[in-house]
Amino acid sequence: MNRHELRDLILKKQSFLCIGLDTCLNTIPSFLKDIADDPVFEFNRRIIDATIDLTAAYKPNLAFYESHGSKGWESLEKTMHYLADHPKGPVFTIADAKRGDIGNTSAQYARAFFEHMPFDALTVNPYLGRDSVEPFLSYPGKWAIILALTSNPGAMDFQVLQPQLPLLLEKFGIKTCYWKKLFELVMEECQQWGTPENMMFVAGATHLDFLSSIREIVPDHFLLIPGVGAQGGKLEEIARMAMNKDVGIIVNSSRNIIYASSGRDFDTAARMAAKALHQQMAHILKTKD
């Protein structure tokens, strides 16, 4: 799905929501284990049917499938084929796999997610540099979503590293010129390798103060924004700081939607949680126009 089609999909559905399918056998309603051979797929199928008209994208989190080995990968493959053939599709699909390896190995990961499975996009860790990212950029209509600034506490360990001299001077009250942080350098560098047609960036919503500078560095790229709760209290602020002329943002919510209820009503509860975010997004998109 190219950028034009993605923007049109978002505007048509009035939703820039991405639902994270962090589907864990230990967390899904236990009755599913009694009625289905593949309870992980059955959970996904019902979540998808209950929410597909409200969401622009789905994002299976690979770790949850891999923890069941080849059987987990089967559940994922079934989910992807179900999505590909869904009468209410198309919908944008993101493999949240955070892959990245030396060139010839990244090329194999690209085959896994873009050829063997029909994902539109894959999250990619930039630590190994250019040859680790490029194999994901050569598939027309497919996307590498580069981790720039993530939403977890550990994001503060390396991603915001910057030279120590300015920090030291600032400690003594000496104002220094602007100095780039690692995630900013990552975005600047990666822009040289890809385009807004095949590359997005992860920009965690837990760091609202950085969103404006992120948008300055990558004015045209789509941003995948994780870390927004079901209440979506921050949605307005995120949209104000990060939207661009093509909408340009996809906001993810995982557990707050798919685990909104642990009972037999899990799918209707998921729909209600998604609906709440959808309404806010539709309002934001209307106000923008």
125 binds its own copies (CB under 8 A): yes
Q: How many helices (H) and strands (E) does the chain have?
A: 14, 8
Residue from 133, 144, 251, 273 touching its own copies (CB under 8 A): that is 133
109 binds its own copies (CB under 8 A): yes
DSSP helix/strand/coil, 245: coil
229 binds its own copies (CB under 8 A): no
The residue among 31 and 127 lying less far from its own copies, judged by its C-beta, is 127
Residue from 8, 49, 189, 246 touching its own copies (CB under 8 A): that is 189
41 binds its own copies (CB under 8 A): no
80-87: Cβ within 8 A, 24+ apart: 80/117, 80/118, 80/119, 81/118, 82/41, 82/44, 82/45, 82/48, 83/48, 83/58, 84/118, 86/48, 86/52
Query: What are the CA-CA distances from residue 73 to residues 120, 157, 196 (Å)?
Result: 17, 32, 30
Residue at token pair 């003594």? 172
The residue among 22 and 120 lying less far from its own copies, judged by its C-beta, is 22
Q: How many residues does the chain have?
A: 289
Give kind and range of the element (H or E) at residue 205.
none
User: Has 98 been annotated as catalytic?
Assistant: yes
- State the nearest-atom distance from the C-beta of 228 to its own copies, in Å: 14
253 binds its own copies (CB under 8 A): no
> Which residues bind to its own copies, rule: CB under 8 A?
22, 24, 61, 63-64, 66-74, 76-77, 96, 98-103, 105-106, 108-109, 111-112, 115-117, 125-133, 147, 150-159, 161, 163-165, 182, 185-186, 189
Q: Which residues are catalytic, by number?
A: 98
